[in-house]
Amino acid sequence: MSGGLLVAGTTSDAGKSVVTAGICRWLVRQGVKVAPFKGQNMSLNSFVTREGAEIGRAQAMQAQAARVEPTALMNPVLLKPGGDRSSQVVLMGRPVGEMSARGYHGGRQQALFGTVLECLQELRATYDAVICEGAGSPAEINLRRTDIVNMGIARAAGFPVVVVGDIDRGGVFAQFFGTTALLAPEDQALVSGYLVNKFRGDVSLLEPGLDMLYGLTGRRTFGVLPYAHGLGIDEEDGLRVSLRGAVRESVVAPPVGEDVLRVAVCAVPLMSNFTDVDALAAEPGVVVRFVDRPEELADADLVVVPGTRGTVRALAWLRERGLAGALARRAAEGRPVLGICGGFQALGEHIEDDVESRAGAVEALGLLPVRVRFAPEKTLARPVGEALGEAVEGYEIHHGVADVRGGEPFLDGCRVGAVWGTHWHGSLESDAFRRAFLREVAAAAGRRFVPAPDTSFGALREEQLDRLGDLIEEHADTDALWKLIESGPPGGLPFVPPGAP
């Protein structure tokens, strides 16, 4: 077997990442050697592979679903927004510069297409199957000429396309029909069918519509995936703590101790890798929420200032919102604060930034004895170490270089009283360290909270990936999907007018 499939969507957040991961987990259960692929990803949630390459976290999660090690081949182009009109371009895991949206779509994107196809070809030569994820919608007709992630990939590889639609938003039939009808005949010939995602209720009530859709387009619907409560995976972007819902909704998990622990995460602009707090939310008795007002910090036992693609911009936002003052009061009162990556930088004394914001010298919040200088070269690493007497693993993605001038050592950063700071993402996924950290937080906050002794974040994530595989196996026509992956798009698919303008 040597084949592939492109999972496209009628919209952003239709469920492409979930379906791609689910298909990968289903295939690997069948003994198929499978790899995920997304030619171009736009996300502030990224991951560092073992070879030191930066890729989207969604592709790292999909690689885990496929039970393979993630590599830069799986996401050759990553765009990290730095504002409304520009992004950092990461090519093969390394930043190659900042570019406006107009400049990127004006020529640079198409120049990268060769690299994208080379990566796909290398994966196809190594794996039995490659499951590609599209981006946004394939019917973004203004961008089709420079497309390197949707129908551009499908046409170059000859891959069949399955279009996913989120029925929970409403209008899914119009989305399926309109997506197909706005594609050129050559692209339509690859659109092999549809998958309905997030359905609630009686499927028999939906079936007449699916029959009418087939009559209109000549394309089957390969499955109706039910709405899965508490389904948590690493997201590209958005404000949702993925595993919190899973733990609360799938298992009644009261606190082990007498109190719950409340965690407030400052929703800073250009927030990156907010998945860092998923491991906190996985703990029974820990309640995590995102906040943007100082009064919302009042009852928090721990405040997290997360990573951000714009540290200087985040600092200004914290001050404008009154959150900077609230954080200073917390520190003075000995109430816990954790800064991660850009949040760690913001908690320091001084920032010299001629790279990210080009703002030059900027005074930070002064809660930690740290001075930060932004370097042109980005640090990408997978460090291991020890803190609070426990082993810790993490990953680093930052331009800021920290000069720590005091406090107690804490990972690569420091601690002063109840204020901690580190550049390490993912450290809270180390179970023993997370429990030790939460015990420190509970003691400082005066809470009778006790971490559960057996919570395994890795095991919870595996359970979630298995749930994705179950969704495909139980609710999709896997025989039809297998045939598409193995044999390509079926012949004789009708053209749906009007086609691309």
Contact partners, residue 103, CB within 8 Å, separation at least 6:
none
- For the record, the structure tokens of 299 come out as 């009852």
Which residues are designated catalytic? 341, 425
Residue 224: helix, strand or coil by DSSP?
Answer: strand
Nearest Cα to 245, choosing from 260, 233, 230, 232? 230
Cis ω for the linkage preceding 498 (within 30 of 0)? yes
Beta partners for 413? Answer: 410
Spacing of C-alpha 408 from chain mean position: 32
Cβ atoms 332, 366 nearer than 8 A:
no
Q: In 284-430, which ranges are continuous DSSP H helix?
A: 311-320, 323-333, 342-347
Residue 132 to residue 70: CA distance in whole angstroms: 14
**Measured distance CA(428)–CA(477) in Å, rounded:** 38
Judge contact between 283 and 246, C-beta under 8 A: no
The token pair that represents 123 in the structure block: 């994966």
What 347-355 contacts at long range (C-beta under 8 Å, 24+ apart), as own/partner pairs, is 347/305, 347/419, 347/421, 348/372, 348/402, 348/421, 351/311, 351/312, 351/315, 351/400, 353/311, 353/312, 353/400, 355/399
Distance in angstroms (rounded) separating the CA atoms of residues 113 and 255: 51
Cβ–Cβ contacts within 10 Å for residue 228, how many?
21
